[in-house]
Structure 1
């Protein structure tokens, strides 16, 4: 019997180098801060009894409106990132910028306007954010809104524009200051000053 040489086929296996720890895929650099921000937002929503970023509280106030009212820019940012609708309106027809202007903090005002919120939106009483700032004597908010493109040529139902309201507010403050200056010193003068301030505050509410 003849011997035949057997042909042995050897499958060559290419060794796969073990992946080093330094070469492993790592999460994005901002993953942890985003997770922390999401957790903080969830805790804030829960603490204020909002089921989600789109929910509404008393008076139709949304989480974004409340964060803007408190001047909490980081929360405003987190809510916008989470999809909060900046154009949502409360029961009076005000959106989040109105609340940011009440707070007077520049950062949330800038953030909301950069997000695309309507700067000249008028609420159900046909009052804009600029008018609100003017009527309340918030000169710094007026300046910021005007610098960002707010229109001073819009009119309230009583025919006044924002500059008229600012002028009227200035005259009211001057009248109050004059009353306080004319008041007698001592306890009697203090009481007279308080009465003058209270009278002006009542006039503001009535208006």
Structure 2
């Protein structure tokens, strides 16, 4: 079942489940079928597993879950496939972040826009002392994609005054990096 989930073979997953496979079975990395499907963006498999009761919150040995992986991949269809399972939006990844933080860092605009509507804490501070807004600036490239992430976060109510562990705000980071357009957005 795990191999079938990873390659997106929903029929083989269904057959395995009918034959009695454990829906929460784990591989050597403690990944479930749903996590493998989420990481590979296998939407049909994810929908099947969610309909059968698979957990979107099952942690693997890297402290990833199917839900957290959506922030890394930026897959809005996978986000939508997992929402009916009621994922815990407060589960933290190995860096102490929630899914909106890696999505912001990676410039996944559509994902950030959609996940901001779920009730996720857009001002969550990870173990590095960064919010999604800070990550979009500090780890982004200052270009159009990360500028749009900043706009989306601000429109969703992100607090631009939250500073990092050193007391530096997103605006100050943007100015230091020479991200003039991004700084203008943050000045609002």
The answer as to whether partners of 1:68 and 1:108 remain within 8 angstroms in 2 is yes
Measure, in 2, the Cα distance between the counterparts of 1:157 and 1:99: 18
Match of 2:158 in 1: 150
SS of 2:178's partner is: helix
Q: Over aligned residues, Cα RMSD in angstroms? A: 3.0
Q: Structure 2 matches for 1:183-198, cutoff 5 A? A: none
Q: TM-score, normalised by structure 2?
A: 0.61
Q: Structure 2 matches for 1:12-161, cutoff 5 A? A: 45-47=35-37, 52-135=55-138, 136=140, 137=142, 138-161=146-169
C-alpha displacement at 1:97, in angstroms?
0.7
The answer as to whether partners of 1:65 and 1:100 remain within 8 angstroms in 2 is no
SS of 1:65's partner is: helix
Match of 1:17 in 2: none
The answer as to whether partners of 2:55 and 2:85 remain within 8 angstroms in 1 is no
Larger RCO, structure (CA 8 Å, separation 6 or more):
2
C-alpha displacement at 1:68, in angstroms?
2.4
Q: TM-score, normalised by structure 1?
A: 0.56
SS of 1:69's partner is: helix
Q: Measured at CA, do residues 152 and 53 of structure 1 come closer, stay the same or move farther in structure 2, by a change above 3 Å?
A: same
Match of 1:23 in 2: none
Match of 2:20 in 1: none
SS of 1:59's partner is: coil
The structure having more radius of gyration, on CA atoms, is 1
C-alpha displacement at 1:59, in angstroms?
3.0
Gaps of 5+ in 1: 1-34, 172-207
C-alpha displacement at 1:142, in angstroms?
1.2
C-alpha displacement at 1:99, in angstroms?
2.1
Match of 1:170 in 2: 178
**Consecutive aligned runs of 4 or more in structure 1 exceeding 4 Å deviation:** 46-51
The answer as to whether partners of 1:56 and 1:62 remain within 8 angstroms in 2 is yes
C-alpha displacement at 1:58, in angstroms?
4.4
C-alpha displacement at 1:44, in angstroms?
5.5
Measure, in 1, the Cα distance between the counterparts of 2:148 and 2:36: 33
Of the structure 1 ranges 126-135 and 97-106, higher mean CA displacement relative to structure 2 is found in 97-106
